[in-house]
Chain A
Amino acid sequence: MASAFDYAPAPESRSVVDIAPSYGLFIDGEFVDAADGKVFKTVSPSTEEVLSEVAQAGSEDVDRAVKAARKAFEKWSALPGPERAKYLFRIARIIQERSRELAVLETLDNGKPIKETRDADLPLVAAHFFYYAGWADKLEHAGFGASPKPLGVAGQVIPWNFPLLMLAWKIAPALATGNTVVLKPAETTPLSALFFADICRQAGLPRGVVNILPGYGDTGAALVAHPDVDKVAFTGSTAVGKEIARTVAGTRKKVTLELGGKGANIVFDDAPIDQAVEGIVNGIFFNQGQVCCAGSRLLVQESIQDELLDSLKRRLSTLRLGDPLDKNTDIGAINSAEQLSRITSLVEKGAAEGAEPWSPECELPSSGYWFAPTLFTNVTQAHTIARDEIFGPVLSVLTFRTPDEAVAKANNTQYGLSAGIWTEKGSRILAVANKLRAGVVWSNTFNKFDPTSPFGGYKESGFGREGGRHGLEAYLDV
């Protein structure tokens, strides 16, 4: 009775999801083996347990899938908008009905906490399909001409940090505008895309409209380079994005790229401190910081630095790290051994360059890929950890004295995806937001997403917008 309030474990049931021992590629409405018979294993990052064996698409499979999508395009693009909308609404409703299953699946395959897949990912996935279903019959009113036409076959490559959500961002607008799709999920997280293939069949979606090709980077490269692909959409690292840009340069292909980021989260001295602390935590520790728009650089006004850091450290001490299927877990596993070693080496570099790391007392599980939430103080713009994207639960804390200095430091990066402003003064929010070179600027909040709101970057964070009315443009001949 006298002991502290230790929460008992509250694990979500694994039995709600039935993972088959092996999966094929999804081409022309069928699950098929890879032409060369290659397979790879997908593991659960929190336990390193093998979840399933998945067919690995080669260039021959890419060709088959693109052909299937090309053939399906004729009928799909000719369907009246309201008909396409019906399929999308149906998919959205099936996602809602199966959301618990998909949330557990995503947590197993990705390592992120069930709290996030259940409360953030899945509701947003369904919302994107609902939102773009609503546009399917109103394209002539979207501001892109009287009868905007689809582009054709879209080749889409998505990352492992939000596997199903990134799929929704790509597939929903593509289908709503009458395109057909060949999508390559990331090699560490292919399962939810394959479950989505099953949902397409459940919804009665015509064959070939959506094709899913699990595989590694070479599969993605083959898809991007395929001559019969009309549109390339990519979310992932800046290095790969540059390669894609080189591949499609000089072709007729349209391309949108959502790449890395190094978001500045600016806290002024008149900020609502307690809420700013929550926003900083959400900005960098949501999905273990494996978020391209993470607020990974905290810019705090010098006068409140000590107070804010004390509050932040106290708050970090309450974060719960562990089994991602436990409903009380705040911080899950890092997605892969490779990513973990990248984070580790950047953090070592930060310490070697003179920044001071701090982590709360935190026991890491013995198996799986884990990294304790970490913040660095004494960071300057010249430090590697203030410039390179770490893509992990690591926050760099910098200070500023005046709003001009805050803006200059925030913009002094090769990226430009997101930023945050914390102040009680409305005029300051508007003045600073106007000067920030970032695709999204959140004020007194962070990491909020909505299908109606466009998302995309400046500079090396890419180009093109996803979401909202703007997201339609990337899939229309305008």
Chain B
Amino acid sequence: MPTTASAAHPLTDVTASDSTLRRFLHGLPGVDAVGLEARAASLGTRSIKTTAKAYAIDLAISMVDLTTLEGADTPGKVRALGAKAARPDPTDRTTPATAAVCVYPDMVPVAKEAVAGSGVKVASVATAFPAGRAALDVKLADVRDAVAAGADEVDMVIDRGAFLSGRYMKVYDEIVAVREVCGTAARLKVIFETGELSTYDNIRRASWLGMLAGADFIKTSTGKVAVNATPANTLLMLEAVRDFRAQTGIQVGVKPAGGIRTSKDAIKFLVVVNETAGEDWLDNHWFRFGASSLLNDLLMQRQKLATGRYSGPDYVTVD
């Protein structure tokens, strides 16, 4: 499994200059919003029952990036989160661990210790998350901190201002610079904040821009704005990674984040993955959910499938 994007691929030329990059991004096929949303809605009507549902719930649990990104985070809170990520349901040891815990850079050492030996990765948001409005030096310092503290994954935000004003090369250069700092130590997730990009055409362009610059993952949003992950924008990004692999041979992961709260929703996203990019992406190395409240609903649904009865919020841990 390739974990790092290779520098040389058939599309390397398009990043030669500002104008070649612009021409390439604007030459991508357009997105018809009505058609895209209708397709996402129709995939949402797939009926997932019994064995498929049990499989989907365990898969979804294993794809969760359990996240705490609050100013009020404490080491105690992060330790609790790490324990939960490693063993989400203490009453049932067959429950898979989550993919990662996601914290601010200063909490990375605490998180590393909390998940040590469990296989759970530690992801850290960096690059002046969530606004991304800082000088490149500051952003890179932020990333360096996270990587030095042992982060396995870095979630960076792009400069939406630069993107919306058409300065694609600036966005590209920043991602490349962050990628360099991550090196082989950390996988890079690039967050577009799709709610601020406003059009589906922009989301497709941003996806390609991120992949060209070497993203290991493309991620919808920070979870800090009104519109976050939707089945439609995730479907669009899955089309982008599918097409990118077809052209370059490089596989890139996708992470919808924010607003996915129920098992039912999560399963709909898995259906979208299954029928858009295909089963190669049905794995936590290539697909993640950036959603914390989702985990407890998945656990409650899992208990329901095992026992035939609904439990309740007090039968799963608060964090």
Contact = CB atoms under 8 A, between A and B. Distances in A.
Interface of A: 1, 3-10, 115, 119, 270-275, 278-279, 310, 318, 327-328, 424, 444-445
Given A10-B47, A271-B29, A445-B34, A1 B39 contact: no
A5 B35 contact: no
A196 to B, nearest CB: 26
B93 interface: no
B291 to A, nearest CB: 19
Interface string B42-76: 00011111111101101100000000000000000
Contact of B35 (A7, A270, A279, A318): A279
Interface residues of B, number: 30
Dominant SS among interface residues on chain B: helix
A8 B34 contact: no
A273 B242 CA distance: 14
B275 interface: yes
26 contacts: A3-B55, A4-B279, A5-B52, A5-B271, A7-B52, A8-B51, A9-B49, A115-B45, A119-B45, A270-B29, A272-B29, A272-B30, A272-B31, A273-B29, A274-B29, A274-B36, A275-B35, A278-B35, A278-B38, A278-B39, A327-B45, A327-B46, A327-B47, A328-B46, A328-B47, A424-B30
B239 interface: yes
- In the A-B complex, list the 4 residue pairs whose CB atoms are closest, starting with the nearest: A275-B35, A10-B47, A327-B47, A272-B32
Contact of B274 (A5, A8, A272, A424): A5
Given A271-B29, A444-B32, 12 more contacts: A1-B55, A5-B56, A5-B59, A5-B274, A8-B53, A271-B30, A272-B32, A275-B36, A328-B46, A328-B47, A444-B35, A445-B35
B52 A444 contact: no
A29 B239 CA distance: 55
B29 A7 contact: no
B282 A274 contact: no
Interface of B: 29-32, 34-36, 38-39, 45-53, 55-56, 58-59, 239, 246, 270-271, 274-275, 279, 282
B46 A4 contact: no
Nearest to A279: B35
A3 B274 CA distance: 12
Q: Which of B29, B46, B59, B246 has the most chain A CB within a 10 Å cutoff? A: B29
A7 B59 contact: no
A119 B50 CA distance: 23
Contacts of A318: 275
A8 B52 contact: yes
- Specify which of B31, B32, B274, B275 lies most central, judged by the most chain A CB atoms within 10 Å of its CB: B32
Contacts of B279: 4-5
A312 to B, nearest CB: 14
Contact of B31 (A1, A9, A274): A274
A7 B48 contact: yes
B240 to A, nearest CB: 10
B237 to A, nearest CB: 12
A328 B50 CA distance: 14
Given A5-B52, A5-B55, A7-B52, A274 B34 contact: no
